[in-house]
Structure 1
Amino acid sequence: MKRQVLLLGGCCIDEILECDHLPSSGDDILIKSKKVMLGGSCLNVATVLKRLGKEPVLYSALDPNVYAQYIQDLKDEGFDCSCLYEEQGQTGTCTILIDKTKERTFLTYNGIEGNFDENRIPQEIINEIDWIYLSGIFLTYKDESQKIVPFLLRMVHQGKHIIFDLGSLINQIEITLLKECVELSSIIKGNEYEINCLVKRLSIPHITNIIKDNLRVIIKTCGSEGSITYVENNILSIPSVEVEPIDTTGSGDSFVGAFISSLLDNLTTQECLEIASKFGALATRHPGGRIKLNEKKDKA
């Protein structure tokens, strides 16, 4: 049995809109292209894991219409859909505006994908997983997000490891919840903005102040400047891979997916980061957060 990764963050509808410039208040602009697909950071990460031969398990509630529209596509791609389920309500959306500089602006609507019921996760899945990927957006659903901490605590006690991907909405996470999830994590990943926000919200002098027995790796991605990773008493600096970007949506998710896959292959942290950097760069060469597993892709 291949080792599995449980992904917590929910699937949403990605609406990707390309325009020359962002509108000012009261503006009316033309959209150059539009793409709508099932997405979310969890699905992006899962796609990379699946592509690299791992067995990711997606957890998410979906409204009946979205479930009916996309579930067969996911099964056709070979995803384990045992933790995807129908629930009344409305699936959330992420509207992504991309201007001519390729900069992205996100408009997020939280829906039922943030619901959490650990009884929806079969015991046989829990027995098989080594890692849990936790997306920061999963902690922005008020009362629902609070339900995840007892589950994560039990998973850590059972020897599972958590990689916490902070996400751009880190300032929207309730502070006690944020601290609890940081303390339970083995690896934290964020970009410069997200790491700086975490330092400020935790009121610590430097991000390395939270490294301890359980939390041993903190990854800070720096775009075209590569990444800086703090591993106990060491600092690893990995340069970026030069590409001509088309759309940077999902590049961080591809980075994380490749990093987790490399961890499962028992590679060194340095090797994991080098592979992750390559996949993160390749993700910028196509529009949208991911390429379906049954579609043409760039060779890594």
Structure 2
Amino acid sequence: MGKGCIVIGAAMLDIVMEIDQIPKSGTDVYAKGQSMMVGGCAYNVADILKHFGVNYTLFAPIGTGMYADFIRKELKKAGHESPVHCEDSDNGYCLCMVEADGERTFLTVPGIECHFQEEWFSALPVDSYDSVYVSGYELEGEGGDAILNFLESNQELTVYYAPGPRITYIDPEKSKRMYALHPVMHLNELEAVTSTNTDDITQAAEMLSKSTGNTVLITLGKQGVHLFEKGIHTLVPSKQATVVDTIGAGDSHIGAVIAMRTMGNSFPEAIAMANRISAKVVSVKGPVITTEEFEDAKQD
């Protein structure tokens, strides 16, 4: 049994709008529905770790302002707290436009979560954890160096790295430093092929693994997950899901993988469970699931 995970990244306000399709430039469309909730990759990952009962710290800065106040209140309601509080700016928000087929498009207004500072990490009891999750959004921001400095000073931690859609925008020097930490990489098919300039998933997995010297997980939607571990390619199939929206699918997936690995499971076992959890997440509105939905997914 592992000790637990430090979840580095963002807690943001998600404003989810349901629309028929993404509007073309200059047009005017009505939204069919709108809801507001806490999201952000780190928050979504932490919520899954909480469901599994795994030790974690949500290391996401909470600022000062309208969005931060909403986030602080919602975190408390959901049983989360962050040790990082800042006076000098507000949290960001994300407008998530969900089309009729469940596809989502994000418009992100960044806030305090892009400005990680080195001194925030000093109060963290690192000895209580053996793994750390990092999202690409925060690495890309100007606080990315502070995150990398922390990781480089604590190389005993297993790094789980989800670069997300920003993978091709992250400064190559930062990517190089991250890869030198031998992270387990978790990304989707589009992110894998665009970052390696190949259309072949097998080749993409091998190229990424060569950069990191570690395991690579490429999510393939309803087909499952392509796992490349110790020179072996495996497809871990997924169950069919009814897609309401895909917000938080990748975050819940990596969260479940980390939880299962912390509990001593192999990567194929961890991914099989993660596939069930993320299938449940895409079948509900927004990025988080209830305890009841979580228990259902585990039994499936």
- The TM-score, its normalising length taken from structure 1, stands at 0.90
Report the Cα distance in structure 1 between the residues aligned to 2:124 and 2:19, rounded to whole angstroms.
46
Question: Which amino acid is the alignment partner of residue 157 of structure 2?
Answer: K
Question: Over residues 180-202 of structure 1, what are the superposed CA-to-partner deviations in whole Å (9 max), with x where a residue is unaligned?
Answer: 1122133001001111122139x
Report the Cα distance in structure 2 between the residues aligned to 1:195 and 1:214, rounded to whole angstroms.
14
Equivalent residue for 2:157, pick from 130, 140, 160: 160
State the 1:71 CA deviation.
2.2
For 2:293, the equivalent position in structure 1 comes to 297
8 Å CA contact 2:222, 2:241 repeated in 1: no
Q: Which structure 2 residues correspond to residues 122-271 of structure 1 after superposition, within 5 A? A: 122-123=122-123, 125-141=125-141, 143-156=142-155, 159-200=156-197, 206-211=204-209, 215-271=213-269
Gaps of 5+ in 1: none
8 Å CA contact 1:15, 1:93 repeated in 2: yes
State the 1:3 CA deviation.
2.4
Question: Over residues 216-237 of structure 1, what are the superposed CA-to-partner deviations in whole Å (9 max), with x where a residue is unaligned?
Answer: 2100001111110100111111
Equivalent pairs: percent with the same residue?
25
Question: Which amino acid is the alignment partner of residue 233 of structure 1?
Answer: G
State the 1:2 CA deviation.
7.9
Q: 1:110 to 1:213 in 2, by over 3 A?
A: closer
State the 1:297 CA deviation.
3.0
Report the Cα distance in structure 1 between the residues aligned to 2:3 and 2:35, rounded to whole angstroms.
33
State the 1:214 CA deviation.
6.5
State the 1:160 CA deviation.
0.7
8 Å CA contact 2:138, 2:144 repeated in 1: yes
Report the Cα distance in structure 1 between the residues aligned to 2:204 and 2:102, rounded to whole angstroms.
31
State the 1:120 CA deviation.
2.0
Look up the SS of the partner of 2:53 in the other structure: coil
Deviates more, 1:239-248 or 1:57-66: 57-66
Report the Cα distance in structure 1 between the residues aligned to 2:135 and 2:166, rounded to whole angstroms.
10
Look up the SS of the partner of 1:70 in the other structure: helix
Q: How large is the RMSD of aligned CA atoms in angstroms? A: 2.2
Question: Which amino acid is the alignment partner of residue 90 of structure 1?
Answer: D
- The TM-score, its normalising length taken from structure 2, stands at 0.90
Report the Cα distance in structure 2 between the residues aligned to 1:59 and 1:91, rounded to whole angstroms.
14
Report the Cα distance in structure 2 between the residues aligned to 1:74 and 1:276, rounded to whole angstroms.
23
8 Å CA contact 1:91, 1:113 repeated in 2: yes
8 Å CA contact 2:19, 2:100 repeated in 1: yes
Q: 1:214 to 1:175 in 2, by over 3 A?
A: closer
Report the Cα distance in structure 1 between the residues aligned to 2:69 and 2:211, rounded to whole angstroms.
44
State the 1:148 CA deviation.
1.9
For 2:37, the equivalent position in structure 1 comes to 37
Q: 1:248 to 1:267 in 2, by over 3 A?
A: same
8 Å CA contact 2:64, 2:87 repeated in 1: yes
Gaps of 5+ in 2: none
Question: Which amino acid is the alignment partner of residue 283 of structure 1?
Answer: V
8 Å CA contact 2:226, 2:235 repeated in 1: yes
State the 1:56 CA deviation.
1.9
Question: Over residues 202-253 of structure 1, what are the superposed CA-to-partner deviations in whole Å (9 max), with x where a residue is unaligned?
Answer: xxx6431343697321000011111101001111111111121111111111
8 Å CA contact 2:38, 2:74 repeated in 1: no
State the 1:70 CA deviation.
3.1
Q: Which structure 2 residues correspond to residues 79-90 of structure 1 after superposition, within 5 A? A: 79-82=80-83, 84-90=84-90
Q: 1:81 to 1:149 in 2, by over 3 A?
A: closer
Report the Cα distance in structure 2 between the residues aligned to 1:173 and 1:213, rounded to whole angstroms.
15
